[in-house]
């Protein structure tokens, strides 16, 4: 089956408290379902392509903002960065 960009998702371990916060309290958690990050349990978070696009709109001063550079795709909470990997 052919996957489209819309079907892609990224996930990573951010810790249980951070995953819960990103999924329920972050600015993107208040958007429509397809634009929200999902708490997978066990400290893991998942971003669909749409959720990632929405989170990219956050500024550096906001928890949950992203950087995507030579170090990879990372979500920031406070001074901590958590790496996300594309799911296969």
Sign of the dihedral defined by the CA atoms of residues 21, 45, 52, 65, in that order? positive
This prediction has a pTM of 0.87
* Category of 16 on φ-ψ map: left (φ > 0), alpha (ψ -120 to 50) or beta: alpha
Indicate if the pLDDT at residue 28 is higher than 50: yes
- Closest listed residue to residue 17, CA positions, set 36, 35, 42: 42
DSSP structural state of residue 3: P
pLDDT at 87: 92
Share of the chain above pLDDT 70, in %: 93
Q: How many CB atoms lie within 10 A of CB 46?
A: 18
Cα dihedral 66, 67, 71, 72, rounded to 10, equals 50
pLDDT at 1: 47
pLDDT band for 39, please (50, 70, 90 cuts): very high
Average pLDDT, the chain: 91
């Amino acid at each position: 089956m052919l996957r489209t960009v819309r079907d892609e998702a990224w996930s990573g371990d951010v810790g249980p408290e951070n995953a819960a916060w990103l999924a329920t309290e972050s600015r993107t958690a208040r958007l429509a379902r397809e634009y929200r990050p999902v708490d997978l349990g066990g400290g893991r978070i998942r971003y669909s392509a749409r959720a990632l696009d929405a989170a990219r709109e956050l500024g550096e001063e906001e928890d949950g903002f992203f950087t995507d550079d030579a170090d990879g795709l990372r979500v920031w909470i406070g001074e901590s960065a958590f790496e996300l990997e594309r799911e296969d």
